[in-house]
Structure 1
């Protein structure tokens, strides 16, 4: 018996919706990254994008434990000298909670072209409304 390798054109993709209300950011991000990579499938192949689409709703209700709201910083750089911008997560969660969740999930995906392809299958929304009802997403529960 030979080892199974998934073919990129033979992968069947499903849509999953995750409710982020009350979940810690890290646990939510690891589970979303796991689904995006396809590690929940028996046909997982590391060099092929076998993952599914993930819709995360209620991003504004995600929880950061401890003092991370005040101590953790979201950093970005313009590329120019002195161009480092720092935003505390408390402000980020008030203004753009979607970006905080996207940033956490993206950090848990591979840092290459395959990871960028996986990242395009992530959709994050501030509240419970999303425009992907036509895809008939299944609910994915996280303990």
Structure 2
């Protein structure tokens, strides 16, 4: 009898869709659970170098919470590459203008920084309201304990 460790292939993944409600969820805790799902760590076939995760749709991103003084103290930076063009926004400004980006950036920071991470990042869809255009994929609701 051979004894070996099974390594999942890309074709073994049954790409499920799930929808997560972000209303009254803490940003970091929600982002870690979303990254866990996208990465596929909930799946018994999890293999670190293969995409075995699910497609995730997050709704109500505008109702997300930040604890402590993070609304005013947390800054998001962007730079065009030109001298003197560093721009910054507080989390409060970011949530008012583009609430989807706050969660996308948090999840992106929890995924691998390589080719696989860029591929996994495309499996996340974030919407500010409670409507999403992915009803045809029949996403199953997932309860996040927060």
Shift in Å at residue 67 of structure 1? 0.4
Give the 4+ runs in structure 1 shifted more than 4 A.
Answer: none
Report the equivalent of 2:123. 121
The yes-or-no answer on 1:33 pairing with 2:51 is no
Any idea what SS the aligned residue of 1:74 has? strand
Indicate the residue corresponding to 2:74 in structure 1: 72
Cα distance, 1:104 vs structure 2: 0.4
1:81 CA displacement: 1.3
Name the counterpart of 2:102.
100
Unaligned runs of 5+ in 2: none
Per the alignment, residue 137 of structure 2 pairs with 135
Aligned equivalents of 2:8 and 2:98: distance in 1? 37
| Structure 1 residue 9 displacement after superposition | 2.2
Q: Distance in 2 between matches of 1:120 and 1:101?
A: 14
SS at match of 1:33: helix
Structure 1 stretches lacking a partner, 5+ long = none
Number of positions where the alignment pairs a residue of Structure 1 with one of Structure 2:
143
For 1:48, the equivalent position in structure 2 comes to 50
CA distance, structure 2, for counterparts of residue 55 and residue 109 of structure 1: 16
* Correspondence 1:84 to 2:104: no
Q: TM-score, normalised by structure 1?
A: 0.98
Q: 1:15 maps to which residue?
A: 17
Q: What is the root-mean-square deviation of aligned Cα atoms in Å? A: 0.7
Equivalent-residue separation in structure 1 for 2:41 and 2:97 (angstroms): 32
